[in-house]
Homo-oligomer: A and B are copies of this chain.
């Protein structure tokens, strides 16, 4: 973790990362609720919303869209990822070199680590190379810190999420993206464990407005610095409305109810 290294993808030290790599990770089926989101241009448009501090995409999507949006959107290059067509001990291909991400104008890199996987050691070494290359390019580093695999029964327990946040700190991430561990207290432990590394909550699968915003509010209360979200935005009929509400909860620290009311 390097102070201020993430400034290009944060706003007043907070972050709302619009994640859009579901086409690779889950397949086009994730776009069925709102078929127009199959088109990356539609989601880049969304990312121009003031609430969004960065968009996270894979290389091919960035190549196609980023040249048209580089003045309006901060690019978080999601370096690794894989399909769910295969089943096995969790792993992720590094699909993008940091040098090429920098050449395309990326502001930061994103990298998944499956702590607890039999592939943890290899993934951590790939992360090392990416993190140090990002430092050479003055790019921030976000870790998707997702314990998963061999022997991990409950991957959102308080201890597991605190551990995940700590791994992000110790290995050199500026921002740790972790799942919500179920309570504000558990999130506080994760935030403390990450120390100077910022913690952002992972949005997860789509839930209703209040439940979703309430979880975000709880995370912010616990000291989290924001959210990385995909489906809970782009699978809604009115994604702008939820972004408006998220802006209030994250940056203005309004309550979920108040934010929801104000943006209805």
Contact = CB atoms under 8 A, between A and B. Distances in A.
Quickly give the copy total for this chain: 5
A237 interface: no
A86 B163 CA distance: 12
A128 B97 contact: yes
A210 interface: no
A59 B162 contact: no
Which of A2, A135, A169 has the most B CB atoms < 10 Å from its CB? A169
Nearest to A85: B116
Given A95-B128, A125-B95, A1 B64 contact: yes
Contacts of A205: none
Given A23-B170, A118-B88, A196 B132 contact: no
Given A24-B166, A28-B166, A170-B24, A121 B93 contact: yes
5 contacts: A24-B171, A40-B196, A87-B151, A92-B121, A100-B135
